[in-house]
Amino acid sequence: MQPRPTLSSSCARAATAAEARFRISYPDMASRASRVIALDEPAAELVRELAGQPWHGGRFLVFDRLTPAGNGHGPAADAVLQLADGSPTLLSSELDGADVAVMIATPAARAEVASVIGDACASRWVMSAGLVVAGGAVAGGAVAGHAAAGHAAAGDAVAGDAVAGNAPAEAVVAALRPNAMVLVVLRSSDDVAGILSALRV
Amino acid sequence: MLSAEVNDLLTQTGPGTAMGELFRQYWIPALLASELAENDGPPVRVKLLSERLIAFRDSDGRYGLMDEFCAHRGVSLWFGRNEESGLRCSYHGWKYDVTGQCLEIPSEPDERHSSLCAKVRLRSYPLVRIGDVLWTHMGDPAQVPPLPEWEFALVPPEQSYTSKRWQECNWLQALEGGIDSSHVSWLHSGGLRTDPLFKGSQGNKYNFADMKVFFEVVESEGGLLVGARRNAEEGHYYWRVTPWVMPAFTMIPPRGDHPVHGHFWVPIDDENCWVYSYDYHPVRPLSETELQAMRDGHGVHNQYVPGTFRPLQNKDNDYLMDREAQRRGDTYSGIKGIAMQDASLQESMGPVVDRTKERLVSTDSGIIMARRKLWQAAEALRDHGTKPPGIDPAHHRIRSVAIVLPADAPFADSCREALSVRPGQRHASV
């Protein structure tokens, strides 16, 4: 193969500040179809609060109950979720056509619920992620809060140790691990809104 | 996705900026010790956090880092004479010690000389050698933190090797590559098979056998732990755990008995950064074969344009793109070497990537969290004077880990001991 001369307009030189001005600008692509699902009651409070903010079309849902298989035995067939206004909907119908499902959980979450949602995502090739709020208060204005105080408090708690434990969240993290491609364990619910925003939910 | 305002906040590190003030809380790498190898050697121009500085080592072996320009007429002291315990400007002979204090103004009458000198002092910063690196603290001199305690810099010299390279983009997009574990299976797939500093470990077999990586991100006291897991033997996962310590330290999980490596990402200005790349072994000297591989640019290191810290593969030569190697699968991107595979793509984003246009996915959660922690820390410092994580030397005593764990074991707690520095004990690696 003949080597080619490096031209001033080749891709590498186009990375200069001067050339960056000529990057084409156009409107955002279509939004992903995102579902944010609270797995337990403390997470539900957070999700209901988040639902009132402006998003990119994401649907905010709260787990209500599992629906049994047809014969009443064996694994749950589906789950009933609630929309932010309290109206019911089915997990299966929410995941049809979804691109990503983000599960929000606290240590109060049940493994069985994570398993049903994870399986439903896997069977539909829906990307699943989990945000576990491991510590700190979830409710009561947490969404609008700021983590500044959280840093100081966390540092005080385990000063002198490079690696902090997340013991209260172990069970829910273990439950979510097989059911979420990505898991983020958070000390505070303050970061949930920020992560969802970064993902353009 | 970030707003333009937050992108500016995170990427601008000059004096008076929020992120610049954050960086000025820490000891950061300023030069390699080898750049000031001898007393009275040539001074070295250094640009850090958008400040132009001059570094020198005086007749007594003391290190100095100060404003590059003479207080008299603004001449660069790079042209100066390093002699008799001071750096003398070549223009009119003004002379400064390592603290920036003016010692001599030859043109002034002897009677007024000492009083005038006392009034002239260049801005200077401490410069301290720890390991192969000279470290500086560019913040408030009344609040200098304890010296850094990174293991790579504290092990005996024969166990460690550090290089640096100039990267032509903002520091943050370079750092983000160090946190982004999901690109390894693609961009660096060739290197796992062939690079002498990576190949041959059991862990590589897990890498190749399971391309579907699951991620877990956990907050640590100094920053984050990013765990990437793949299937191992029945009922077990292979975990690769990457620590990020604020603001700019990352450590790559080890492979077999190879040395452990990682990076410091230091802003030069808002469109350039220094990438310090270290390799060390906690319990044994690096072999001559390993050292030669590092000098030859393997692993996280690179080759240079002779006489410079600019990589031999750079944007002026399209990084020596080899389309045949790309077609054969020797390299995924056609670029040789792990360091330059990363740098070429990160530089291609432009000097400061526009994060308002990006489309992050959930596997980018480590990057999202790192940005949030930086943002929160910068604002907390600016608005409340809160000291950020990563200053405490306890946060430096951390290791990366490559380990096989039972499927139900939480990696951060299961690896608690392995993630901590244990002097004289080898790292956890498979």
Q: List, for residues B72-116, the tens digit of each pLDDT value.
A: 999 999 999 999 999 999 999 999 999 999 999 999 888 777 888
Beta bridge partners of B53: B46, B67
- Between A167, A181, A185, which is nearest B217 by CB? A185
CB B192 within 8 A of CB B335: no
Which chain B residue lies closest to A174 (C-alpha atoms)? B408
Question: H-type helices in B28-136, by residue range?
Answer: 110-118
pLDDT tens, A29-78? 778 899 999 999 999 999 999 999 999 999 999 999 999 876 666 677 79
Tokens of A155: 């540092």
pLDDT given for residue A145 in this prediction: 33
pLDDT given for residue A21 in this prediction: 76
Question: What is the C-alpha to C-alpha distance for residues B274 and B332, in angstroms, rounded to an integer?
Answer: 25
Q: Does B355 touch chain A (CB under 8 A)?
A: no
CB B387 within 8 A of CB B381: yes
- DSSP one-letter code for B40: T
Question: What is the C-alpha to C-alpha distance for residues B410 and B257, in angstroms, rounded to an integer?
Answer: 24
Is the pLDDT score of B237 beyond 60? yes
- Between A15, A158, A170, which is nearest B348 by CB? A15
Q: How many CA atoms are closer than 13 Å to the CA of A54, on its beta-carbon side?
A: 0
Test mutation, B9, B362, B379, B420, chain A, max A CBs within 10 A: B362
CB B45 within 8 A of CB B11: no
CA distance A14 to chain B (A): 8
Tokens of B323: 């389309």
Question: What is the C-alpha to C-alpha distance for residues B233 and B74, in angstroms, rounded to an integer?
Answer: 66
Q: Which of A184, A56, A195, A134 is nearest to B226 (CA)?
A: A184
- Contact at CB, B1 and A200, closer than 8 angstroms: yes
Q: Does B419 touch chain A (CB under 8 A)?
A: yes
Q: Which of B220, B219, B136 is nearest to B397 (CA)?
A: B220
The residue assigned the tokens 């991100």 is B217
Question: What is the C-alpha to C-alpha distance for residues B325 and B194, in angstroms, rounded to an integer?
Answer: 13
- Between A127, A146, A183, which is nearest B216 by CB? A183
Q: Which of B51, B10, B8 is nearest to B368 (CA)?
A: B10
pLDDT given for residue B319 in this prediction: 94
Residues of A with Cβ-Cβ distance to B146 under 8 angstroms = none
CA distance A68 to chain B (A): 27
Is the pLDDT score of B36 beyond 90? yes
pLDDT given for residue A160 in this prediction: 37
Element (H, E) at A50: helix A41-51
Residues of B with Cβ-Cβ distance to A129 under 8 angstroms = 362, 365
- Between B221, B372, B376, which is nearest A164 by CB? B221
CA distance A71 to chain B (A): 31
Which region among B36-45, B342-351, B381-390, B403-412 has the lowest average model confidence (pLDDT)? B403-412
Is the pLDDT score of B198 beyond 90? no
pLDDT tens, B357-403? 898 988 899 999 999 999 999 999 999 999 999 999 999 999 999 99
Q: For chains A and B, count residue pairs whose Cβ atoms are closer than 8 Å.
A: 175
Element (H, E) at A123: helix A111-124
- Contact at CB, A17 and B318, closer than 8 angstroms: no
pLDDT given for residue A188 in this prediction: 87
Test mutation, A163, A190, A195, chain B, max B CBs within 10 A: A163
Distance of CA A38 to the CA centre of its chain: 10
Question: What is the C-alpha to C-alpha distance for residues B265 and B9, in angstroms, rounded to an integer?
Answer: 17
Give how far Cα B207 sits from Cα of A64, B152, B210, B300, Å.
Answer: 39, 26, 6, 18
Angle (CA) A63 A66 A69, round 5°: 155
- Contact at CB, A6 and B359, closer than 8 angstroms: no
Test mutation, A24, A55, A151, A158, chain B, max B CBs within 10 A: A151
Q: How many CA atoms are closer than 13 Å to the CA of B171, on its beta-carbon side?
A: 30
Low-confidence ranges of chain A (pLDDT < 70): 1-15, 70-74, 136-168
Torsion sign over Cα B349, B354, B355, B357: negative
Contacts of A129 (CB under 8 A, 6+ apart): A100, A101, A102, A103, A180, A181, A182, A183, A184, B362, B365
Tokens of B134: 């000279």
pLDDT given for residue A149 in this prediction: 30
Torsion sign over Cα A40, A42, A46, A48: positive
Q: Does B233 touch chain A (CB under 8 A)?
A: no
Whole-structure pTM value: 0.90
- Contact at CB, A177 and B214, closer than 8 angstroms: yes
- Contact at CB, B362 and A173, closer than 8 angstroms: no
User: Whole-number mean pLDDT of chain B?
Assistant: 94
Interfacial B residues in 53-92 facing A (CB < 8 Å): none
Q: Which of B201, B248, B328 is nearest to B23 (CA)?
A: B248
